[in-house]
C-alpha cells in the first residue's frame, strides 16, 4: 500500500493611619510581632488552592485498616507543588458519600477531589464509569441500601470526566501496575464516584476522580502493599494528573468535555456542541465497525487529511483515496482494529469548530495511542470534517 499513510492502523505507529501603642518590654514587642504576623499566615493558607483526598474507614467483619485511608492520612495539611492537601476519611455508610463531599466542598473549597477505595490485589484501578446502582450489601451499620438507585432522578451512569487512560499511561511509565476499570463495584466506592460526577455537573471547573488501591499486606508484582507504598502512589498519581493538565494547557486545550454526561453550561454556551460530539463519536464508531460509507460521510467534500509521521514527514490525501485506503486495510487486516477516543476537547471560532481527540487503537495484541486534530465546518446544514491532522505518539505491545 506504499506510504504508511494509507493504513490508519499502521500509521498509528505512527499535561494565578492607626498607630499602635508600643509597650517598652521585649515580651510585649515579641507578642505584638506575633499578632501582626498571624493574619498574614492565615491569608496565605486561604489563598493556596486545595486538593481534597478522601479514603474510607475500615469496613467488613474484620475492620482491618483501609489502604485508601492509610495511604493519605499523613498527607493531611501538607503542601504539595503549590497546593494544600486536605485528607478526609469517609464513612462506609449508604447515602453518606454525597453528604460528606458536599460538606467538604463548602468547608475547604477544593479545586480537585481525588477519592480512593480498597480494591483487588495485584493492581491499581482508575475507575472510568459510575452506574446509578447499589448492590444489596450491608454497610458498616449493618444496613442494606434503602433504595437501589444512588440518585433516583439522576442519569443511569456517568463516564468519568477524568483523563483516566492518559494518567494511567504516565503511571505505567513509572512502573506501576494499573488499569482503567469500568466496574467500580456497586458499593460505596461506586457511590462516591457517582456523587463526585453529580456534584461536578454544577461545578464544571472541579477535577474529580476515583481510584482503587490494593489491600494492605497484598502484593503488586514483587512489592508488598503498605501505607507508605500507597502514599507514594497517591503522590505519583497527583504528579501524573498535574503533568497532564499542564500539557493540555500548553496545547491550548481548555474545554473539559470528556465526561459521559456533559455539563449544561457548556452546551448552553454553544448549542452546536451536541451535534459536534455526535459527528466525532460517529467517526470513530463507523471506522471501528467497518461501515466505510458512514465513515466517508463524516468528511466534507473537498476535505484534506494529513498524517504527520514520527520523522516529521507529512502525507496529504483527499477524502476519496483516504477512505478507500481505510477500507482496504480492514479487508486485509489479520486482527480486527478498534479505535476509541480516550479524551475529547472542543472549541469554537467564528464559523468553525475544532476537536482534539486522544485515541487508543487496539488490533490484536497491539495497542497504539495518538491524536486526531479536527477542523469542522457546516456543509449543507450538517457538521463535517474539513481537515484532519493525525499522528501516533506511542505503541504498547
Please tell me the distance from the alpha carbon of residue 124 to that of residue 220, in angstroms, as a whole number: 9
Average pLDDT of span 367-377? 92
Are residues 143 and 53 both part of a single domain?
A: yes
Catalytic residue among 100, 127, 165, 339: 127
Please indicate, yes or no, if residue 113 is contained in any of the structural domains: yes
Average pLDDT of span 383-388? 97
Please indicate, yes or no, if residue 160 is contained in any of the structural domains: yes
Q: Is the pLDDT of residue 2 over 90?
A: no
CB 345 within 8 A of CB 258: yes
Are residues 198 and 296 both part of a single domain?
A: no
Please tell me the distance from the alpha carbon of residue 341 to that of residue 356, in angstroms, as a whole number: 10
| Cα–Cα nearest to 141, from 235, 230, 63 | 63
Looking at residue 351, which CATH number applies to its domain? Answer: 3.10.450.50
Please tell me the distance from the alpha carbon of residue 389 to that of residue 309, in angstroms, as a whole number: 11
Average pLDDT of span 216-245? 94
Average pLDDT of span 251-259? 44
Please indicate, yes or no, if residue 354 is contained in any of the structural domains: yes
Residue-wise pLDDT for 128-154, tens only, equals: 999 999 999 999 999 999 999 999 988
Q: In what order do the strands lie in the sheet with 207-213?
A: 78-80, 83-90, 50-56, 112-118, 207-213, 124-127, 178-181
Cell numbers for 321: 483515496
Are residues 86 and 213 both part of a single domain?
A: yes
Catalytic residue among 189, 191, 298, 339: 189
CB 303 within 8 A of CB 318: yes
Looking at residue 109, which CATH number applies to its domain? Answer: 3.40.630.20
**pTM higher than the cut 0.75:** no
pLDDT over 90, % of the chain: 64
Please indicate, yes or no, if residue 26 is contained in any of the structural domains: no
Catalytic residue among 164, 211, 212, 330: 212
Please tell me the distance from the alpha carbon of residue 375 to that of residue 124, in angstroms, as a whole number: 37
Residue-wise pLDDT for 4-32, tens only, equals: 444 554 544 333 333 433 333 443 444 34
CB 80 within 8 A of CB 51: yes
Q: How many domains does the chain have?
A: 2
Q: Check if 127 is active-site.
A: yes
Please tell me the distance from the alpha carbon of residue 361 to that of residue 146, in angstroms, as a whole number: 42
Q: What is the pLDDT of residue 41?
A: 38
Please indicate, yes or no, if residue 264 is contained in any of the structural domains: no
Please indicate, yes or no, if residue 142 is contained in any of the structural domains: yes
Q: Is the pLDDT of residue 250 over 80?
A: no
Residue-wise pLDDT for 299-310, tens only, equals: 999 999 999 988
Q: Check if 298 is active-site.
A: no
Average pLDDT of span 203-218? 94
Please indicate, yes or no, if residue 257 is contained in any of the structural domains: no
Residue entry with cell 459510575: 130
Neighbours of 310 (CB within 10 A): 12
Contact residues for 232 (Cβ-Cβ < 8 A; gap 6+): none
Residue-wise pLDDT for 75-112, tens only, equals: 999 999 999 999 999 999 999 999 999 999 999 999 99
Are residues 54 and 95 both part of a single domain?
A: yes
Are residues 65 and 213 both part of a single domain?
A: yes
Q: Check if 212 is active-site.
A: yes
Domain range spanning residue 180?
A: 48-250
Average pLDDT of span 367-391? 94
Q: Which residues of 341-351 are buried (b: 16+ CB within 10 A; e: fewer)?
A: bbbbbbbeeee
Cell numbers for 126: 482508575
Q: What is the pLDDT of residue 200?
A: 92
Cell numbers for 110: 477544593
pLDDT band at 266 (very low <50, low <70, confident <90, very high): very low
Amino acid at each position: 500500500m506504499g506510504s504508511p499513510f494509507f493504513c490508519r492502523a499502521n500509521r498509528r505507529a505512527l499535561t494565578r493611619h492607626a498607630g499602635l501603642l508600643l509597650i517598652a518590654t521585649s515580651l510585649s514587642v515579641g507578642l505584638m510581632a506575633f499578632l501582626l504576623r498571624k493574619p498574614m499566615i492565615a491569608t496565605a493558607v486561604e489563598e493556596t488552592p486545595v486538593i481534597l483526598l478522601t479514603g474510607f474507614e475500615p469496613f467488613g467483619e474484620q475492620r482491618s485498616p483501609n489502604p485508601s485511608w492509610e495511604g493519605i492520612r499523613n498527607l493531611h495539611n501538607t503542601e504539595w507543588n503549590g497546593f494544600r492537601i486536605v485528607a478526609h476519611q469517609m464513612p462506609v455508610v449508604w447515602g453518606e458519600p454525597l453528604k460528606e463531599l458536599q460538606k467538604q466542598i463548602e468547608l475547604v473549597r477544593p479545586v480537585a477531589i481525588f477519592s480512593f477505595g480498597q480494591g483487588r490485589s495485584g493492581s491499581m484501578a482508575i475507575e472510568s464509569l459510575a452506574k446509578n446502582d447499589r448492590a444489596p450489601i450491608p454497610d458498616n451499620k449493618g444496613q442494606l441500601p434503602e433504595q437501589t438507585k444512588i440518585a433516583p432522578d439522576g442519569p443511569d451512569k456517568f463516564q468519568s470526566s477524568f483523563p483516566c487512560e492518559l494518567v494511567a499511561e504516565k503511571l505505567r511509565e513509572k512502573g506501576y501496575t494499573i488499569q482503567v476499570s469500568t466496574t467500580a463495584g456497586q458499593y460505596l466506592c461506586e457511590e462516591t464516584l457517582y456523587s463526585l460526577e453529580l456534584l461536578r455537573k454544577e461545578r464544571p471547573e472541579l477535577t474529580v476522580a476515583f481510584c482503587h488501591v490494593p489491600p494492605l499486606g497484598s502484593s503488586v508484582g514483587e512489592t508488598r502493599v503498605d501505607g507508605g507504598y500507597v502514599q507514594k502512589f497517591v503522590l505519583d498519581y497527583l504528579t501524573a494528573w498535574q503533568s497532564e493538565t499542564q500539557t493540555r494547557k500548553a496545547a491550548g486545550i481548555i474545554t473539559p468535555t470528556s465526561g459521559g454526561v456533559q455539563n449544561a453550561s457548556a452546551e448552553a454556551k454553544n448549542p452546536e456542541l451536541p451535534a459536534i460530539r455526535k459527528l466525532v463519536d460517529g467517526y470513530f464508531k463507523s471506522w471501528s465497525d467497518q461501515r466505510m460509507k458512514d465513515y466517508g460521510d463524516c468528511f466534507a467534500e473537498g476535505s484534506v487529511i494529513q498524517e504527520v509521521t514520527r520523522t516529521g514527514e507529512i502525507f496529504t490525501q483527499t477524502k476519496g483515496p483516504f477512505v478507500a485506503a481505510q477500507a482496504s486495510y480492514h479487508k486485509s487486516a489479520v486482527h480486527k482494529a478498534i479505535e476509541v477516543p480516550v479524551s475529547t476537547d472542543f472549541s469554537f471560532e467564528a464559523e468553525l469548530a475544532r476537536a482534539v481527540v486522544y485515541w487508543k487503537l487496539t488490533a490484536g495484541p497491539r495497542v497504539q495511542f495518538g491524536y486526531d486534530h479536527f477542523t469542522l465546518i457546516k456543509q449543507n446544514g450538517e457538521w463535517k470534517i474539513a481537515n484532519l491532522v493525525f499522528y501516533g505518539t506511542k505503541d504498547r505491545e
